């Protein structure tokens, strides 16, 4: 049985993608362990959904947050992980920041080790990355990817960019989709908030933070509150902009805020909406080429989508007939898309979505992941 360590540079408290991959690999016959960073009050050695987790204790963790000190913490994590796990068969490196661990082991300690590089986004083109830092990151990825045996990424356009940049085999697409579920439509939001049957519920779920078009959404629904009181939005999730949403919900009767719920019950809430909104600001290539998780959650919950006019998002919605693309990533563009969505053929949309959820579910993504692992040896 081959031993796999899946490495993340977080505390592994809320990382659904890594957990799903680990469960699939364990079910596929691999001895899998997740390596993360220890943080109080979490346990150093833990088990989550039958997956062993080792949160590495970093002695410099409590030091200051200055950039230089952050680098010391990072190198200590690398050192401790390499020391403990250099005899492992397969290193599943999640994101570029964990890739040096696999490369160091393969180059200096265990030439038979295999490396799977799981790029959860366009790693060298993420929001806020610029200047000398961006040049260094690009140089590091170009150097390290030569040692990688298999690469995974999250959209076709990003995969093509990796081929263009590094002349490698096209990365496999493993999308962060939910497990397949037959959905019984619920009415949780109508009951909790007293929303009338005649009102159309638009839903934004997930991270309520920068780069997600939250301010544009709020501006849009503030305008709509004066034009059509039957068009309402529910935000469900958490993040740095949660206070903005809560304040708007207190002032506007068509804006509602619901705190985040567990992944186990999320789709019940999702199915309580009439449309799902996925907005992303076109502020970097990683965003432009992304396929947000919430799009697949909406599909699994069988509600049509309204999305930003970005390459991969637009292609998924338009090619499958499952909703509307806002032609402009502005409040006016979004407002027009919302009005257009209300007039769509609901039965046709439902049929298209039900067909598509049979393609975009974790059971299908798992097949791709396991096939990639079989090709390692």
Range of weakest confidence among 20-34, 60-74, 141-155, 162-176: 60-74
Q: What average pLDDT is seen over the chain?
A: 95
Q: Which residues pair with 277 in a beta bridge?
A: 306
Same structural domain, 126 and 222? no
C-alpha 144/C-alpha 311 separation (Å) is: 28
Q: Using the predicted structure, report yes or no on whether residue 219 has a pLDDT greater than 90.
A: yes
Q: Does residue 147 belong to any structural domain of this protein?
A: yes
Residue 152 located in a structural domain:
yes
Q: How many helices (H) and strands (E) does the chain have?
A: 15, 14
Given a cut of 80, is residue 300 above it in pLDDT? yes
Would you say residue 252 has pLDDT above 80?
yes
Residues 300 and 270 both lie in one domain: yes
Q: At residue 69, does pLDDT exceed 90? A: no
Identify the pLDDT of residue 359: 96
Number of compact structural domains in the chain: 2
Residue 272 lies in a domain: yes
Q: Is the pLDDT of residue 160 over 90?
A: yes
- Side by side, the strands of the sheet bearing 31-37 are 45-48, 51-56, 31-37, 3-7, 90-94, 114-118, 150-153, 172-173
Residues 153 and 204 in one domain: no
Same domain, 70 and 214: no
| pLDDT at residue 66 greater than cutoff 90 | no
Reply yes or no on whether the pLDDT at 64 is more than 80: no
Residues 142, 253 within the same domain: no
d(CA 159, CA 142) in angstroms, rounded, equals 15
Q: Are residues 154 and 244 in the same domain?
A: no
Q: Is residue 244 part of a domain?
A: yes
One domain, residues 135 and 207: no
Distance CA 362, CA 22 (A): 12
Residue 182 lies inside a defined structural domain of this protein: no
pLDDT > 90: what percent of the chain? 90
Whether the bond into 41 is cis, omega within 30 of 0:
yes
208 in the same domain as 170: no
How many Å apart are CA 172 and CA 21, to the nearest integer?
Answer: 14
Return the SS3 of 322. coil
Q: Binning pLDDT at 50, 70 and 90, where does residue 59 land?
A: confident
Specify the pTM: 0.93
In this structure, the answer to whether residues 352 and 367 fall within a common structural domain is: no
Decide if 181 is inside a domain: no
Q: By percentage, how much of the chain surpasses pLDDT 70? A: 100
Residue 52 and residue 160 in one domain: yes
Provide the domain limits for residue 252.
Answer: 188-356
| Average pLDDT for 218-223 | 96
Query: Which sign does the torsion angle of CA 39, 177, 137, 34 carry?
Result: positive
pLDDT of amino acid 128? 86
Per-residue pLDDT, 62? 75
**Main-chain phi, psi angles of 36, to 5 degrees:** -135, -175
Residue 369 lies in a domain: yes
171 with 295, same domain?
A: no
73 vs 85: CA distance, rounded Å: 18
Whether 14 has a pLDDT exceeding 90, the answer reads no
Residue 183 belongs to some domain of the structure? no
Residues 113 and 161 in one domain: yes
Question: How much is the pLDDT for 176?
Answer: 94
What pLDDT is stored for residue 37 in this prediction? 96
CATH of the domain at 37: 3.40.50.2000
Instruction: Indicate if the pLDDT at residue 135 is higher than 80.
Output: yes
Which pLDDT belongs to residue 141?
97
């Amino acid at each position: 049985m081959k031993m796999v360590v899946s490495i993340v540079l977080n505390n592994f408290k809320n990382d659904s993608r890594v957990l799903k991959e680990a469960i699939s690999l364990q079910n596929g016959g691999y001895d899998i362990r997740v390596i993360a960073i220890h943080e109080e009050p979490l346990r150093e050695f833990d088990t989550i959904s039958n997956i062993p987790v080792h949160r590495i204790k970093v002695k410099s963790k409590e030091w200051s947050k200055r950039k230089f000190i952050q680098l010391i913490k990072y190198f200590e994590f690398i050192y401790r992980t390499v020391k403990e796990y250099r005899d492992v068969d397969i290193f599943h490196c999640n994101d570029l920041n964990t890739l040096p661990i696999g490369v160091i082991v393969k180059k200096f300690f265990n030439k038979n080790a295999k490396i799977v590089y799981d790029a959860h986004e366009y790693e060298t083109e993420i929001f806020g990355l610029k200047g000398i830092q961006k040049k260094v990151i690009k140089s590091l990825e170009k150097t390290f990817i030569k040692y990688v045996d298999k690469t995974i990424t999250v959209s076709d356009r990003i995969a093509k960019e990796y081929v263009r940049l590094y002349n490698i085999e096209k990365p496999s697409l493993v999308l962060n989709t939910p497990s397949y579920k037959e959905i019984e439509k619920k009415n949780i939001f109508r009951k909790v908030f007293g929303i009338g049957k005649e009102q159309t519920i638009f839903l934004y779920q997930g991270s309520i933070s920068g780069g997600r078009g939250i301010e544009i959404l709020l501006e849009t629904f503030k305008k709509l509150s004066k034009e059509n009181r039957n068009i309402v939005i529910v935000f469900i999730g958490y993040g740095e902009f949660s206070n903005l949403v809560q304040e708007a919900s207190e002032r506007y009767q068509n804006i509602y805020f619901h705190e985040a719920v567990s992944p186990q019950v999320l789709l019940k809430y999702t199915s309580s909406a009439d449309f799902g909104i996925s907005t992303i600001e076109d502020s970097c290539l990683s965003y432009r080429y992304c396929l947000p998780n919430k799009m697949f959650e909406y599909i699994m919950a069988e509600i049509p989508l309204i999305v930003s006019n970005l390459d991969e998002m637009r292609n998924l919605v338009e090619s499958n007939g499952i909703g509307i693309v806002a032609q402009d990533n502005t409040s006016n563009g979004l407002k027009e898309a919302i009005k257009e969505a209300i007039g769509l053929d609901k039965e046709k949309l439902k049929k298209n979505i039900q067909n598509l959820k049979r393609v975009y579910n974790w059971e299908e993504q798992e097949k791709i992941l396991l096939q990639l692992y079989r090709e390692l040896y």
